Amino acid sequence: MRELIESLGESAPPAILGFSWGAMLAQAFAAEHPELAGPIVLIGCGTFDPLARARLGATIEERMTESLRLRIERVTADCAGGNDAASCALRAKAALMMPLYSYDLVDGSLANVIEPENCDARAHEETWADMMRLQEQGMYPARFSAIRAPLLMLHGAFDPHPGRMILASLQPHISRIQYREWEQCGHYPWLEKAARIEFFMVLRRWLLDNL
């Protein structure tokens, strides 16, 4: 990220938009290089404390059906062995679980969200383990106090990620943070029938006001 932004040679730092895990990484980058981060948008941001993660897990468990659980177990068993197989299982599991994260998606959206070529199970496990280690050591979210740029959180109320709990964990460390939530909206607001148009309008307006 640092090399890319510096290579652009722009006079002002660019806006950074991160989704889910990417929203967590956007903040980590901005804390490490505050001079290179412009306005930051966090969409469906991940969790930074055990309570929020417990709520996330409980919500997914509540929505899980026995049929879906068996399908996930079957996919995991069929793809056992090696990183390529594990990556195959991770992709398939993400596709199967997407309805648990969504309220009412636009037609055909399921096939467009999962990117099969961009999945590495080993990298997923190692980077998430590292994030958990840094949280346990107290680095995150405390380190985010170094962020200079304004932040906007965009969240769906139906998203298993508990948006308001995540906001509460960030507010003590980030003074310039705003939050917007939609009721009939899950983890992918740009794909939700009830929220997608307003989502893009809010996103565009905020970026224009803050760039």
Per-residue confidence in pLDDT tens, the chain, 211 aa: 999 999 988 889 999 999 999 999 999 999 999 999 999 999 999 999 999 999 999 999 999 999 999 998 888 776 667 778 878 888 888 889 999 999 999 976 654 555 555 678 888 899 999 999 999 999 999 999 999 999 999 999 999 999 999 999 999 999 899 999 999 999 999 999 999 999 999 999 999 999 8
For residue 93, the model assigns a pLDDT of 86
Q: Which residues of 55-67 are buried (b: 16+ CB within 10 A; e: fewer)?
A: bbeebeeeeeeee
For residue 117, the model assigns a pLDDT of 59
- How many other C-beta atoms can be found within 10 angstroms of the C-beta atom of residue 122? 13
Q: Model's pTM, two decimal places?
A: 0.91
For residue 109, the model assigns a pLDDT of 60
C-alpha 138/C-alpha 193 separation (Å) is: 39
- Residue written as tokens 């997608």? 196
For residue 80, the model assigns a pLDDT of 66
Q: What is the DSSP string of 48-81?
A: -SHHHHHHHHHHHHHH--HHHHHHHHHHHHHT-S
For residue 209, the model assigns a pLDDT of 96
For residue 146, the model assigns a pLDDT of 97
C-alpha 112/C-alpha 141 separation (Å) is: 32
Query: How many CA atoms within 13 Å lie on the side-chain side of 53?
Result: 8
C-alpha 179/C-alpha 185 separation (Å) is: 15
- Domains, the chain: 2-210 (3.40.50.1820)
